[in-house]
Amino acid sequence: MTKKRVLITGGAGFLGSHLCDRFLAERCHVIAMDNLITGSLENIEHLFHREDFEFYHHDVSKFVHVSGDLDYILHFASPASPIDYLKIPIQTLKVGSLGTHNLLGLAKAKGARMLIASTSEVYGDPLVHPQTEEYWGNVNPVGPRGVYDEAKRFQEAMTMAYHTYHGLETRIVRIFNTFGPRMRLDDGRVLPAFIGQALRGEDLTAFGDGSQTRSFCYVDDLIEGIYRLLMSDCVDPVNIGNPDEITINQFAEEIIKLTGSQSKIIYKPLPKDDPMQRQPNITKAKEVLGWEPKYSRNEGLKPTLEYFQNKVK
Ligand SMILES: NC(=O)c1ccc[n+]([C@@H]2O[C@H](COP(=O)([O-])OP(=O)(O)OC[C@H]3O[C@@H](n4cnc5c(N)ncnc54)[C@H](O)[C@@H]3O)[C@@H](O)[C@H]2O)c1
């Protein structure tokens, strides 16, 4: 039987590299494409010896060519953390718009099924809690986070248009905060930031009064949800995340305890448009994909902490 051929953009990033591992384990031929703007070859160097793995160093906001057949395209290329997308706002808008358009064109030419990585940020600072897929969001298009949120909203609209107008097979996953090995310690997201500060014995920086909430999903759970969504016939967006919600203050205490650090929590002003609440409603994922998270935050934090401890060393 010929192997399914899968293109994973952002393949050298945190989530993209885990997807490469998963699709190789499913006996697919994997082509990872990445311009390494926020990713690292370290995340995929364990795959370079394999004949069923290829890496293309390429910016997907420019024309994308891949020779041979493609069965699936998973578009995960995009700066994903506030620090990254505030530093490179134009590239963020381009990869969500031009990059998505290029890949939809490629999917159409190859007859491939395309899955895009959208985000809970399409809900903005939500006025509905927890967030269901039917909620349209509360986004400031001209605020600093607009470059990411609106790129992702445009990406969803463009993908749906290709489905409706060209009959392309498309899938949209709305990813809520996910964590695990291969995150960058310095990417500005709250989980690696807290772990890095605790491991270095520094105080943990919370923004605002720390009462805002987040819900963290372990990466293995997310990858399973994405795989199931790709294989399903669900065209509408699906939330994948862990509904176990925690305040930033509680989370900081948890990290301090887990690392055995003497750190304290210090407070800085809340960044503009920072969402106050984040919790996925995953009813649809349960019903349509038979998916729900298996790992508790604590179970996921163990391998993650080990990974970061080695990095800090
Ligand atoms: N990690 C999360 O919690 C989370 C939550 C919601 C959505 N997402 C989405 O998942 C995807 C992956 O996020 P991540 O956390 O792995 O981030 P990441 O920064 O680790 O990975 C993104 C990868 O895309 C690459 N990239 C960026 N622009 C590119 C371009 N123009 N051409 C080619 N490659 C490019 C980067 O070099 C990097 O390797 C993103 O689309 C992000 O918006 C992630």
- Ligand 1 close to Cβ of residue 181 (< 6 A): no
The pLDDT value given to residue 198: 95
Q: What is the crossing angle of helices 100-110 and 146-166, to 10°?
A: 20
Domain count along the chain? 1
Query: Tokens for 56?
Result: 């293309």
Residue 248 lies in a domain: no
To test the ligand 1 pocket, which listed residue (7, 8, 31, 38) has its Cβ within 8 A of the most ligand atoms? Answer: 38
Distance of CA 190 from the midpoint of ligand 1 (Å) = 16
Q: What is the per-residue pLDDT across 19-72, written as a single tens digit (0 to 9) for each?
A: 999 999 999 999 999 999 999 999 999 999 999 999 999 999 999 999 999 999
Looking at residue 228, its amino acid is R
Query: Tokens for 156?
Result: 């969803």
Q: What is the per-residue pLDDT across 266-301, written as a single tens digit (0 to 9) for each?
A: 999 988 878 888 899 999 999 999 999 999 999 999
Residue 260 lies in a domain: no
- Ligand 1 close to Cβ of residue 119 (< 6 A): yes
Looking at residue 107, its amino acid is A
pTM for this structure? 0.97
Residue 127 lies in a domain: yes
Q: What is the crossing angle of helices 248-259 and 297-312, to 10°?
A: 60
Residues of the chain with pLDDT under 50: none
The pLDDT value given to residue 186: 83
148 a catalytic residue: yes
The CA-based angle 85-89-91, given to 5 degrees, is 100
The pLDDT value given to residue 12: 98
> What count of other Cβ atoms lies within 10 Å of the Cβ of residue 106?
20
Residue 305 lies in a domain: no
The pLDDT value given to residue 188: 83
Q: What is the domain-level CATH number for residue 230? A: 3.40.50.720
Chain centroid to CA 267: 27
Distance of CA 10 from the midpoint of ligand 1 (Å) = 6
CA gap 301, 84 in Å, rounded: 23
- Ligand 1 close to Cβ of residue 155 (< 6 A): no
The pLDDT value given to residue 288: 98
Check 72, 123, 148, 227 and give the catalytic one: 148
The pLDDT value given to residue 55: 98
Residue 14 lies in a domain: yes
Residue 79 lies in a domain: yes
Range of the domain at 89: 5-181+218-242+279-294
To test the ligand 1 pocket, which listed residue (31, 56, 78) has its Cβ within 8 A of the most ligand atoms? Answer: 78
Distance of CA 34 from the midpoint of ligand 1 (Å) = 9
- Ligand 1 close to Cβ of residue 241 (< 6 A): no
- Ligand 1 close to Cβ of residue 230 (< 6 A): no
Q: Whose CA is nearest to atom 11 of ligand 1?
A: 76
Residue 300 lies in a domain: no
Q: Which of these, 219, 198, 304, lies nearest to 261 by C-alpha position?
A: 198
